[in-house]
Amino acid sequence: MSFDIPVPDLTSERIGNTGTPGVWHFDSGVAGRTLMISSLVHGNELCGAWAIKELLASGLTPRRGALILAFCNLDAFDTFDASRHDASRYLDEDLNRVWSEARLAEPNSRERRRAVELRPWVERADWLLDLHSMHEPGKPLQLTGTQPRNIALARRLQAPEYVIVDAGHKDGVRMRDFGRFGDAAQVDACALLTECGYHGDPASITVAKDQIARMLAESGVVDTADVPAGWLQTAPAAQRVLEVTQPVVAPSMEVRFAENWQGLERLAKAGTLIGWADGQPIVTPYDNCTLIMPSLRQLVPGVTVVRLARDYVAPAQ
């Protein structure tokens, strides 16, 4: 899989204007939401960094509320090498698994120390758009978590086509689910994590810019007409909302797929063969099961190799 995105030069962007490296803050002085847009939570996911670099260059400032722009794991990004880009995902541990009081109170890794620096900005944000990319080629995915307000926001944005309701990782809390973003009582604390496509695909930058444009306008921080020209793409005719029911976790290195799954395959019948783990078949547990982000690229015992999803049905009000 070729890597076709150049490495952005962040020499000036990494300074920020807040005293926190890589963090920019623009306050309109007018009442309104504070929107945070974050990139490089994983050091090898360049689409968001490119999009925020270009947003800064555009000179856009908020009309209402405030805008926070963040380049998150700059230390991991500094080790980026396109020929082995997965190696720069993080340095000591995944920055997107440390967002709990217990882990932040024990800043014994470079990622936890960075999270402690970023924390005041994440806490200040009313809305968060966290831009990521994927190990494998595939359509962009909006990962909303399980808060109904995030699912509703993803629908108001009208893109991308696929909205995935995911419960998050049992091995640690994501930035998207930190603090009031994970609190059901905080009815306007919305956070979305967009997987913009394959790490090395230039189209992922187009997706990141489109998502930024939609969040900027929907949050009220700017008007649609303020968004840089060409950023807003045509929305899909309809969105599909899928709910992840379970991950398939590798018990060992002995995991194979039955087909070269690309992701978003919808398998009609329960019992359809997905692959094998330790020689035992892995099958779909229900009809119309959709495969989300299948990948054996980072296979180690305990890693999620595919998530299984069914059509989302909103809970009764």
Least distance between Zn ion and beta carbon 186 (Å): 24
Q: Using the minimum distance from each CB to Zn ion, give the nearer residue, 65 or 200.
A: 200
Nearer to Zn ion (CB atom), residue 43 or residue 182: 43
Report the C-alpha gap between 64 and 167 in whole angstroms: 32
80 vs 282 by CB, closer to Zn ion: 80
Residues 6+ away with beta carbon under 8 Å from 28: 61, 62, 63, 64, 65, 66, 221
- What's the CA gap between 163 and 150, in Å, rounded? 10
Q: CA distances (Å), 234 to each of 66, 91, 198, 257, 315, in order?
A: 27, 37, 20, 35, 30
- In sequence order, the 6+-apart residues with CB closer than 8 A to the CB of 17 are 24, 25
In the complex with Zn ion, the residue whose CB is nearer, 114 or 132, is: 132
Residue number of the CB atom closest to Zn ion: 132
Q: Which is nearer to Zn ion, 62 or 90 (CB)?
A: 90
| Planar angle of CA 147, 151, 156, nearest 5 degrees | 140
Query: To which residue do tokens 């700017």 refer?
Result: 222
16 exposure class (CB count in 10 Å sphere: 0-12, 13-18, 19+): middle
Using CB under 5 A, list all residues that contact Zn ion. 42, 45, 132
For Zn ion, the closer of residues 42 and 97 by Cβ is 42
In what side-by-side order are the strands of the sheet with 289-292? 23-27, 66-71, 34-39, 127-134, 190-198, 141-143, 162-165, 240-249, 304-311, 289-292, 266-267
CB of 7 to Zn ion, least distance (A): 17
Give least dist CB 131 to Zn ion, A. 9
* Residue 141 C-beta: closest distance to Zn ion, Å: 11
Instruction: Read off the tokens for 300.
Output: 């180690």
Q: How far is the CB of 45 from Zn ion (least distance, A)?
A: 5
Nearer to Zn ion, 33 or 42 (CB): 42
The CA distance from 73 to 128, in Å, is 17
Report the Cα–Cα distance between both ends of the chain, in Å, rounded. 45
For residue 41, the minimal CB distance to Zn ion (Å) is 6
Find the shortest distance in angstroms from Cβ 223 to Zn ion. Answer: 30
